[in-house]
Amino acid sequence: MIPNVIRRVEFQYCKLHFLLRTRPLSHVMYSGSTGLVTPVADPSLLDCSRAAAQDVDGFAIISNFVSSEEEEQLMVDIRRTLRGRKYLYDHWDGAIEGYSETEKSNWSESNTPVIQRLKAVAAAAVTDKVVVPLEQVHVLDLAEDGHIKPHVDSVKFCGEVICGISLLSDSVMQLQHEEYPDRWIHALLSRFSLYIMRGVIRYKYTHAIPTNENSVFKGERITKQRRVSVISRTQPVHS
Ligand SMILES: O=C(O)CCC(=O)C(=O)O
């Protein structure tokens, strides 16, 4: 449900946990520049079929989660880590083409607050159980001609929540229910934003970042350039 009037009530960062637990994900916005969070209805970055409306609360995008200065700082660290690596076109499980990646746990001091914010959102994204972000953060550098095929992250390596910061470029994420073709969600992952995926969306929907030929959001072509994502996943649930 979307409130008629957008209430701009500012919370200190420590209230983020409370906010995520008491409001649907689609009503949360994080202001990286002020360090405050504001609950807003921001449906403009999501498009979904009527049938997927019942599930869409499991996916949200928080605009401007990082500032351009924070992006630059993150990229200094990431460039250093990925230096000399070529883009690969043969992913171990065939899901990604045109990428370079690393699992990173050591960040420079200037990037530590952003990584902490990212993990804080991941830890707070579900209400009915305790989830713990993995220590390592996944950095995925996707070339301009790179793309991610539809897949569901393996439950062996990832738990209930996936949160990713999008750097350098806008892109489109396509989410598709594995069993019901009429349930789809398209998300505009705007540069500097954070997406949060949880629950039924994480487990039952495939997610993909298409090639530029198929990168369309609400009828408009979105041309992805080189895009880097910084992703926090929660620990796998072992039964
Ligand atoms: O780059 C992203 O945000 C998504 C990455 C992804 O789908 C994956 O690593 O499984």
User: pLDDT by residue (tens digit) across 200-230?
Assistant: 999 999 999 999 999 999 999 999 999 999 9
Residues 16/113, Cβ–Cβ less than 8 Å: no
Determine the Cα angle at 144 with ends 169 and 66, to 5°: 20
Residues 147/226, Cβ–Cβ less than 8 Å: no
Count, residues in the chain: 239
Q: Where are the domains of the chain?
A: 13-233
User: pLDDT by residue (tens digit) across 127-147?
Assistant: 788 999 999 999 999 999 999
| Nearest ligand 1 atom, CA 142 | 1
Residue with tokens 């989830």: 131
Best residue among 78, 207, 228 to mutate for probing ligand 1, ranked by most atoms within 8 Å of CB? 207
- In the DSSP assignment, the letter for residue 160 is S
User: pLDDT by residue (tens digit) across 171-207?
Assistant: 999 999 999 999 999 999 999 999 999 999 999 999 9
Residue 27 has pLDDT above 50, yes or no: no
Q: 39-48, 63-72, 99-108, 143-152: lowest mean pLDDT where?
A: 39-48
Q: What is the pLDDT of residue 238?
A: 75
Distance (Å, whole) CA 188 – CA 61: 8
Instruction: State the number of CA atoms in the 13 A half-sphere of 227 facing the CB.
Output: 29
Residue with tokens 């895009």: 227
Phi-psi category of 133—alpha, beta or left, where left has phi over 0 and alpha has psi -120 to 50?
A: beta
How confident is the prediction for the chain on average, in pLDDT? 85
User: pLDDT by residue (tens digit) across 89-111?
Assistant: 876 678 899 999 999 999 999 99
- How far apart are the CA of 7 and the centre of ligand 1, in A? 32
Q: What is the pLDDT of residue 110?
A: 96
3-state DSSP call for residue 99? Answer: strand
Distance (Å, whole) CA 39 – CA 201: 21
Binding-site residues, ligand 1, Cβ < 6 A: 140, 148, 153, 164, 207, 229, 231
Segment 9-28 mean pLDDT: 41
Residue that wins the pLDDT comparison between 34 and 172: 172
Q: Which residues pair with 209 in a beta bridge?
A: 148
CATH of 13-233, one of 2.60.120.590, 2.10.210.10, 2.60.120.10, 3.40.50.450: 2.60.120.590
Residue that wins the pLDDT comparison between 7 and 100: 100
- How far apart are the CA of 169 and the centre of ligand 1, in A? 14
- With pLDDT > 70 as the criterion, what percentage of the chain qualifies? 81
3-state DSSP call for residue 68? Answer: helix
Structure tokens at 92: 């171990």
